[in-house]
Amino acid sequence: MSLTGKIVFWSALCAVLMGTFYEAATSSLLAWRQPVYIVAGFAGIAAMVFLLCQPLLIKGYVPDLPNAQARKIHRWFGGGLVVAIVLHVAGLWVTSPPDVVDALLFRSPTPFSVWGVLAMWAVFAAACVAVLRRRIGPRLWRVLHMILVTIVVGGSVVHAMRIEGSMGMTSKVILCGLVLGALIKTLVDFRGWRVMPRRRP
């Protein structure tokens, strides 16, 4: 990558991250929220940021980062994503247990929680598949992981967009757009759909 390319990549990424957290940190809603609720909100934002980083890492778009290194960070960020989601749900649970119980049982009145819970289970499943990839086999595990992360991204974007809460609207649209764009690019480039080996003629 050219020097200009590198500068554009890092400054764009920094601008998105800083803008996202700045808009959330200056939200007027924070004044009326308990610390544990605020932590839950920021954990959700961190999860969305991980969703942007994951395809960039695994597709080798991060400048000057060798693939082996990028894969290692992808695995760490995957763990970070799971932790962020657990914090998000746990913090909301402490804030209002009946609302979280409703969401987890898919009987919540809010139309976005079902998408969030769907994305949560898909993240956990994608992480399990990744941990067990050697047993599952390389072809099947790649397809499974790809399908699951597609559900994760789709569910998370709908979840975030329909909520009035932790994220500012401008940064939410930008971050969700980038996450969706990165997913689409990864899907278009994905060559691993054929699960069974090709039969020789």
Stretch that binds another protein, among 25-33, 143-151, 177-185, 186-194 (CB under 8 A): 25-33
Stretch that binds another protein, among 75-83, 118-126, 158-166, 182-190 (CB under 8 A): 158-166
Q: Return the residue of 13, 75, 90, 102 that touches another protein, per CB under 8 A.
A: 102
Stretch that binds another protein, among 63-71, 103-111, 141-149, 188-196 (CB under 8 A): 103-111
The reply on whether position 98 binds another protein by CB under 8 A is: yes
| Cβ-count burial 163-195 (b if 16+ within 10 Å, e if not) | beebbbeebbebbbebbbebbeebeeeeeeeee
In order of 108, 109, 165, 174, the CA distances from 147 in angstroms are 26, 28, 29, 24
The reply on whether position 109 binds another protein by CB under 8 A is: yes
In order of 59, 60, 74, 194, the CA distances from 66 in angstroms are 11, 8, 12, 27
Structure tokens at 103: 């969401």
- Binding site residues, another protein, CB under 8 A: 29, 31-32, 34, 92, 95-96, 98-99, 102, 107-110, 112-113, 162-165
